[in-house]
Every structure is written in structure tokens, then in C-alpha cells.
Structure 1
Amino acid sequence: MTQPIALLDGPWWPYLALVLFAVLPTEIWRWLAVAFARKLDERSPWLEWVRLVATSLLAGVVAKLVLAAPGALAGVPLAVRLAALAVAVTVVLAFRRRVMLAVLAGEAVLIGGAVWLV
């Protein structure tokens, strides 16, 4: 039987795994994006396409979370989830795209509705 590597056998293994398998793969792409983004024109068709794809992916994730809720969110009635989404979208449109305020307002409706109805 081979001897285990001391670093992989100790208490630091979860942190090493986190850095190797979560941080490094995403950070490489972020740094490359920063390096190449300086040369891009904001109004280029390619960047517009990327923005549209990113927005559609986000919309798909939000729709899946609202309509086919996983875990504890599935216990919250659909009407409450839809109301939270409607409040969040209204806040975004009313307060000039203040996303954090919209998230907090949607969460307040979601939590309040879950506590009140469930």
C-alpha cells in the first residue's frame, strides 16, 4: 500500500481542493477577460451578443428557480414566488437598475410570504 501525501491527508485538504478546483479555473478566465476587454468596443456586435446570451441565461435560471423550485423553496407557494419576482422587477425598473435593492425587496416578499402563508 502506498503512503498518503501528507498535505492531502491533513486538515488543509478541503481548502486546497477549493483553491485547485473552484478558484483557479474561474480566476484564469476572469483575468483573461480583463486583459482582452480593454481592447473591445462596447458597441460591437459580438459584445452585444455576449450580453444578450448572458441575460437570457440569467432569465432562464430565474425562471427555473421560480417555476420549478428546488429544496426548501419548493415549499413556498408559487404565488409568493411570482409576487417576489414581480416586486424585484418593479424595483429594478423604478429605481434605475439598482439590482441590490431589487434583490432585497424580492427576498423580503419571499420570506414574508413564506412565513405568513406556510
Structure 2
Amino acid sequence: MGLGTYLTILVAAALPTQIWRWLGVLFAGRLDDQSELFIWVKAVATALVAGVIAKLILTENGPLATVPALARVGAAAVGFVVYLLGGRRLALGVFGAEVALLASWFTLR
């Protein structure tokens, strides 16, 4: 394949996402983040992330399949508690869940 083929693939892959990014930049100043539509969009985005996390925790796929479901759910609960106690800092919650998950994996191994 020649350079033209790779350039075509790059443009075809990047253009669709770049258009939306630039439109977002142009219209971001006009958005009211307290509007009902914006609040709904944030709620849908949060629900999608929660669904993906629930699927990762509850289904046995990949490396997490070696860890029992109770340990995965427990690690998520520990992460949530650490998040709340840590001043609602996401990094602390993720770290707490990760430490709990690793501890359960090493203990049950």
C-alpha cells in the first residue's frame, strides 16, 4: 500500500470525530450547563458509564474471571467508600478499589 492509501485511511478515520470536536468548541460558549437538556445528557452519560462498570464487575470476562464475583463487588464497594471518605476524589476511589481487588486476588490465589 502506498502513502496515499494510508493518508486516505487517516483522513477518513479522523474527519468524522474532528468535525464534532470543532462544532463542540464553537457552540460550547452558548450552552447553559444548568439547562434541562444538558442535565439529561450528563445523566445519560453517567448511566452509560455505570452500565459499563457493572458489566465489567458482574460478568466473567478476561483476567477478572479469575477473581470471584463477591471480591469484585466488594472491591467496587470499597472504592466507593474510599471515594466518599476521600472528599469525592475519583482517583482515590479508583485506587481504593484497585487495592481491594488486588488484595482479594492475591489472598484467594
What TM-score do you get using the length of structure 2 for normalisation? 0.82
Q: Which runs of 5 or more residues in structure 2 are unaligned?
A: none
Which position in structure 2 is the counterpart of 1:115? 106
Please state which structure has a larger fraction of its residues in helix: 2
Give the match for residue 27 of structure 2.
36
Quickly say closer, same or farther: Cα 1:115–1:47, change in 2 above 3 A: same
1:1-118 to structure 2, matched below 5 A, reads: 5-7=1-3, 21=13, 25-118=16-109
How many pairs were matched up? 108
Provide closer, same or farther for how the CA distance between residues 112 and 56 of structure 1 changes in structure 2, counting only shifts above 3 A.
Answer: same
RMSD: 2.4
Q: Which runs of 5+ in 1 are unaligned?
A: none
1:24-65, Cα deviation, whole Å (9 max, x unpaired)? 544443333232221111110000000100011011011101
Q: Letter of the aligned partner of 1:103 in structure 2?
A: V
Runs of 4+ in 1 over 4 A off after TM superposition: 16-20
For residues 10 and 106 of structure 2, the distance between their equivalents in structure 1, rounded to whole angstroms, comes to 35
Q: TM-score, normalised by structure 1?
A: 0.76
The sequence identity of aligned pairs, in percent, is: 44
